[in-house]
Amino acid sequence: MGILQTFGINWYLVIAQIVNFLIILYLLKKYAYKPILGVLKKREELIHKGLADAKKGEEALQEADEERKKIIKQARDEAHSIVDNARKEASMLLEEAQIKAKKQTEIMLKDGEEAIKREAHMAEEKIEKNIGKIVEEVVKKSLKDILSADQQKEILQNTMKYIAKNK
């Protein structure tokens, strides 16, 4: 007991200090440690989320880039095929037009030939029709002073006969 008195041990004071410490422990736990640790945890979660989002974003960007490249390649291929098709179609159209033109030319040539033939035939017929008159005129005008009217008539008749014979 002497030692306790020397050190001033008073059990009321010991209990008071225990109660005081427990109150401080409770207050610090509730109002300091919990909020601070909560904020630290929240911050850590946010950082993790941010990193995960950044990774996701990067992946999405990469995917979008790949998609873009794919679309460009597809568009380029399509453009190539369209141009090829157009070329083929154009050459086909040209070929067709050439054939058509050739055919039309042939038809036109044939028609022309036929028209010429027809014209020639008509001219021949016309000449044939008027040949008597022409011969009569030629004989009358060329033999007017040389031969008599009877001789002219005989020559004319003979010529007409010859023509009629060789028709």
Partner 1 sequence: MTISLAPETVFNIGNFPVTNTLTNTILIDIFVLLLCYFISKNIKLVPGIFQNVIELLITAFYDLTKNVSEKHVDRIFPFVMTFFFFILLSNWSELIPVLTAIGVERQGEFIPFFRSTSSDLNTTLAFALVSLTATHAMSIKILGLRGYLGRFFSFNILNLYTGILELVSEFTKIISFSFRLFGNIFVGGVLLSSVTGVMAFIAPIPVLLYELLVGTIQAAIFAMLTMAFMAIMTTPAHGTESHK
Binding footprint of partner 1 on the chain (CB under 8 A): 5-10, 12-18, 20-25, 27-33, 35-37, 39-40, 42-43, 46
Report the nearest approach of partner 1 to the CB of residue 60 (Å). Answer: 26
CA 52 – CA 44 distance, rounded (Å): 12
Helices (H), the chain: 2-6, 11-28, 34-143, 149-165
Kindly tell me which of 46 and 99 has the beta carbon lying closer to partner 1. Answer: 46
Q: Are 135 and 159 in contact (CB under 8 A)?
A: yes
Q: Nearest Cα to 139, choosing from 153, 126, 129?
A: 153
Report the nearest approach of partner 1 to the CB of residue 22 (Å). Answer: 7
Q: Are 140 and 152 in contact (CB under 8 A)?
A: yes
Kindly tell me which of 17 and 81 has the beta carbon lying closer to partner 1. Answer: 17
Kindly tell me which of 15 and 60 has the beta carbon lying closer to partner 1. Answer: 15
Report the nearest approach of partner 1 to the CB of residue 61 (Å). Answer: 27
Report the nearest approach of partner 1 to the CB of residue 2 (Å). Answer: 12
143-146-152 Cα angle (round to 5):
50
Kindly tell me which of 13 and 90 has the beta carbon lying closer to partner 1. Answer: 13
Largest CA distance in the chain: 203
